[in-house]
Chains A and B, each alone.
Chain A
């Protein structure tokens, strides 16, 4: 197990290195580049621009810039934010807990909903409940996330006035209850796509498990249906599900940018959007790399959990 962990962790290094190098190449293709913010400022003289470029190391050969970029990344140095004049790592770090809270709550909602809907729908394939769930799932998968967020805002915040439409805390302050009220709409928004996708997944894998021999055996020996569902069917149906959750991390990252923008949630996604509008290049690149770390970590955790849930997997 330890050896497996170390090997997988080491495997993540070239992956992230690849992402870093490719991002660098990609950005070289974009004329304008890191100094776009300054170059487009009409009041900037050529001398000032040259000084900034020299300061940022943009006058040096490309390969030298690449190695500097990689070296700084390795030490966690992401540069200084153009607009906040603080280290990028500090700027991003302030927002990460908020995003993790949003994504985590979203995933939790999605897990509970998907398990409930998926298992209930599988009890009677093509029955009434199953049809309702699959119809709603189709909608959930087809809807643009941000649009769903706008609709929730219009309905629950403006028309009904039940929940706050944006932000994380009320201006007057408030405790955990206030936070949860602010969290409800964005968390449900970010979850909607995966609720739909995961429900369908749980449904089909539960139906598949129900057809297995060990289920027939369990039924034959007179095991209670409930016990059989939990102990035999679910346990086996959920093993591959872990991987599905891990694979959906990119979906949640994209969802975070859109959801946080719609709901003014002070997280990484909102920071990214704000940085886009002012072209704060170091912050943008920092979030891009952190996003890659999230995705790789998601896959890694899924791999490890897969082994925890399925004792047949051996870590050679």
Chain B
């Protein structure tokens, strides 16, 4: 174990040196203004905090997550609580956003809907990120025939009209929150895999990798400890944008009636239910769509903020 640690320290040294020279200008500037030198993480954080939109987005996401977690305490009514005396009622003191065609409180369903939407977004991003990292890393690191094979596979998946396939599958097989997450994840890892592959292809020829390999660091450890941290920014940004994409995709599937099963309150399902009466009760269509738009907007703000903050070539 201690031998391993020494190897680690030795192999990390060239990388650290490189960072020291590359970050030289920053360090110099920091010295000149007599401030303590900042780590790349601190610089990124400082840049992120300067982006007003990203902060707004982050605040909105936190609020939305809190609403989803504490939905039971927050929502004025239960998710399937029916008020037979107010069917498609306009907004009132009892029902702030009115009620739907079954007399369920629109606001409460919006709050409960945040649960499924966020779960689908995060779950899909998690699956897509794991697959993307594995395929991209293996492809870029080993190269040769494995790379050709995997990249042709990526080409094929990219040529898939994925939404069509998911709709067919769900219409025959039925669907659940879990299968929606699983299949959205299975069809959204390709761009990340391509990015990671490209980075690995060029990174693996750098000296610090050569050095690590020469002292016998095993492949898996080399990829995980030395190569992967270099593409951290790409992974974080891609995961964020996948969350937004998956939330939109879930809404589209549910809107068509082949996503999350109908009883579950999700923004897509609420839009699907509104299809029968949106021309007479527009609010039932406006509210869930607007909520979804704002949620996706918030996530995209954060994603863009992260991209700018984590880009080492960006202005500090």
Q: Which of B161, B252, B279 is within 8 Å of A291, CB to CB? A: B161
At the interface, yes or no: B271 with Cβ under 8 Å from chain A? yes
Chain B residue at minimal CB-CB distance from A287? B164
Nearest-CB distance from A146 to chain B (Å)? 5
A30 touching B173, Cβ below 8 Å = yes
A18 touching B165, Cβ below 8 Å = no
Cα–Cα, bound, A225→B165 (Å)? 49
Q: Which of A151, A154, A285 is within 8 Å of B168, CB to CB? A: A285
Q: Which of B258, B282, B285, B300 is within 8 Å of A138, CB to CB? A: B300
Q: Which of A32, A165, A253 is within 8 Å of B164, CB to CB? A: A253
Query: Which B residues touch A26, using CB under 8 A?
Result: 165, 169
A254 touching B168, Cβ below 8 Å = no
Cα–Cα, bound, A299→B159 (Å)? 9
Query: Given the known A-B contacts A19-B160, A253-B161, are A142 and B173 also in contact in the complex, defined by CB atoms under 8 Å?
Result: no
At the interface, yes or no: A23 with Cβ under 8 Å from chain B? yes
Query: Which B residues touch A158, using CB under 8 A?
Result: 279
Which of A27, A36, A144 counts the most B-chain CB atoms under 10 A from its CB? A144
Q: Which of A19, A138, A143, A287 is within 8 Å of B159, CB to CB? A: A19
B256 touching A22, Cβ below 8 Å = no
Chain A residue at minimal CB-CB distance from B271? A147
> Looking at chain B's contact residues, is the secondary structure mostly helix, strand, loop, or mixed?
helix
Q: Which of A139, A143, A144, A276 is within 8 Å of B167, CB to CB? A: A276
Per-position binary interface string of chain A over residues 244-267, scored 1 when its CB falls under 8 Å from any chain B CB and 0 otherwise: 000000100110011001000000
B159 touching A292, Cβ below 8 Å = yes
Query: Given the known A-B contacts A142-B244, A144-B251, are A250 and B285 also in contact in the complex, defined by CB atoms under 8 Å?
Result: no
At the interface, yes or no: B296 with Cβ under 8 Å from chain A? yes
Query: Given the known A-B contacts A146-B252, A146-B271, are A151 and B164 also in contact in the complex, defined by CB atoms under 8 Å?
Result: no
At the interface, yes or no: B20 with Cβ under 8 Å from chain A? no
Query: Given the known A-B contacts A30-B172, A30-B173, A142-B244, are A257 and B256 also in contact in the complex, defined by CB atoms under 8 Å?
Result: yes
A147 touching B171, Cβ below 8 Å = no
**B residues 125-154 in Cβ contact with A at 8 Å:** 152-153
Q: Which of A36, A277, A299 is within 8 Å of B172, CB to CB? A: A36
At the interface, yes or no: A272 with Cβ under 8 Å from chain B? yes
At the interface, yes or no: A273 with Cβ under 8 Å from chain B? yes
Query: Which A residues touch B153, using CB under 8 A?
Result: 18
Nearest-CB distance from B250 to chain A (Å)? 10
Per-position binary interface string of chain B over residues 270-294, scored 1 when its CB falls under 8 Å from any chain A CB and 0 otherwise: 0100100011001001100100111
Query: Given the known A-B contacts A154-B282, A296-B159, are A147 and B293 also in contact in the complex, defined by CB atoms under 8 Å?
Result: yes
Nearest-CB distance from B91 to chain A (Å)? 17
Query: Given the known A-B contacts A139-B293, A154-B285, are A284 and B161 also in contact in the complex, defined by CB atoms under 8 Å?
Result: no
B289 touching A258, Cβ below 8 Å = no
Query: Which B residues touch A276, using CB under 8 A?
Result: 167-168, 171, 256, 258
Query: Which A residues touch B252, using CB under 8 A?
Result: 144-146, 254, 258
Which of B155, B160, B169, B300 counts the most A-chain CB atoms under 10 A from its CB? B160
Which of A33, A158, A254, A273 counts the most B-chain CB atoms under 10 A from its CB? A254
Cα–Cα, bound, A150→B262 (Å)? 20
Nearest-CB distance from A194 to chain B (Å)? 14
At the interface, yes or no: A234 with Cβ under 8 Å from chain B? no
Query: Which B residues touch A287, using CB under 8 A?
Result: 164
Nearest-CB distance from B82 to chain A (Å)? 25
At the interface, yes or no: A141 with Cβ under 8 Å from chain B? yes
Nearest-CB distance from A280 to chain B (Å)? 10
At the interface, yes or no: A109 with Cβ under 8 Å from chain B? no
Cα–Cα, bound, A15→B151 (Å)? 12
Per-position binary interface string of chain A over residues 133-159, scored 1 when its CB falls under 8 Å from any chain B CB and 0 otherwise: 000001101111111001101100010
Query: Which B residues touch A15, using CB under 8 A?
Result: 155-156, 159
Cα–Cα, bound, A190→B168 (Å)? 22
Per-position binary interface string of chain B over residues 291-313, scored 1 when its CB falls under 8 Å from any chain A CB and 0 otherwise: 01110110011000000000000
Nearest-CB distance from A253 to chain B (Å)? 5
Query: Which A residues touch B161, using CB under 8 A?
Result: 250, 253-254, 288, 291-292, 294-295
Nearest-CB distance from B304 to chain A (Å)? 9
Chain B residue at minimal CB-CB distance from A154? B282
Per-position binary interface string of chain A over residues 102-140, scored 1 when its CB falls under 8 Å from any chain B CB and 0 otherwise: 000000000000000000000000000000000000110
Q: List 27 A-B contacts (CB under 8 A).
A: A19-B156, A19-B159, A22-B157, A26-B169, A27-B168, A27-B169, A138-B301, A142-B297, A143-B293, A147-B289, A150-B271, A151-B285, A253-B161, A253-B164, A257-B163, A257-B164, A258-B255, A276-B256, A279-B171, A281-B172, A284-B164, A284-B168, A292-B159, A292-B160, A295-B158, A295-B160, A299-B159
Instruction: Kindly list the 9 A-B residue pairs having the minimum CB-CB distance in the complex, ordered from nearest.
Output: A291-B161, A147-B289, A18-B156, A142-B296, A142-B297, A30-B173, A32-B172, A254-B163, A276-B171
Chain B interfacial positions (CB closer than 8 Å to A): 152-153, 155-165, 167-169, 171-173, 244, 248, 251-252, 255-258, 271, 274, 278-279, 282, 285-286, 289, 292-294, 296-297, 300-301
Q: A19-B159, A30-B173 are in contact. List 5 more A-B contacts (CB 8 A).
A: A18-B153, A30-B169, A141-B296, A147-B289, A277-B171
